[in-house]
Amino acid sequence: MKKLIIALAAILTLTLAACTAQSTMDTDMSTTEPPVTSGITAESTTKPAEEETTTATESPDSTQAPDAPAATSAPAGGTTSRPVTPPATSTPPRTNPPATSTPPPATSMPPPATSTPPPSTPAKPTYTEADYQAIINTIRAYGESKGFIWEESYTFEQGHQYYGRPNLERDGYDGVVNMLKYHCDKIEKDGGICFFKVVKHIYEGNTEFVVLYD
Structural domain contains residue 105: no
Task: Tell me which of 130 and 89 has the higher pLDDT.
Answer: 130
Structural domain contains residue 134: yes
Classify 197 as helix, strand or coil.
strand
Residue-wise burial string across 113-151, b where 16 or more C-beta atoms lie within 10 A, e elsewhere: eeeeeeeeeeeeeebeeeeeeebeeebbebbeeeebeee
Asked if 210 and 187 touch (Cβ cutoff 8 Å), the reply is no
- Measured at the CA of 187, the angle between CA 184 and CA 190, to 5 degrees, comes to 150
Question: Residue 26's pLDDT is what?
Answer: 56
Asked if 197 and 212 touch (Cβ cutoff 8 Å), the reply is yes
DSSP run (H or E) holding 89: none
Q: How many domains does the chain have?
A: 1
Task: Tell me which of 193 and 85 has the higher pLDDT.
Answer: 193
Across the chain, what does the average pLDDT equal? 74
Structural domain contains residue 89: no
Cα separation, 168 vs 174, whole angstroms: 9
Count helices and strands (H / E) in the chain.
4, 3
Structural domain contains residue 164: yes
Structural domain contains residue 63: no
Structural domain contains residue 139: yes
Asked if 212 and 160 touch (Cβ cutoff 8 Å), the reply is yes
- What amino acid is encoded at 123 in this protein? A
Question: Residue 169's pLDDT is what?
Answer: 93
Structural domain contains residue 157: yes
| Domain with 138 in it | 129-213
Q: What is the pLDDT of residues 144-181, one digit of tens each?
A: 999 999 999 999 999 899 999 999 999 999 999 999 99
Structural domain contains residue 11: no
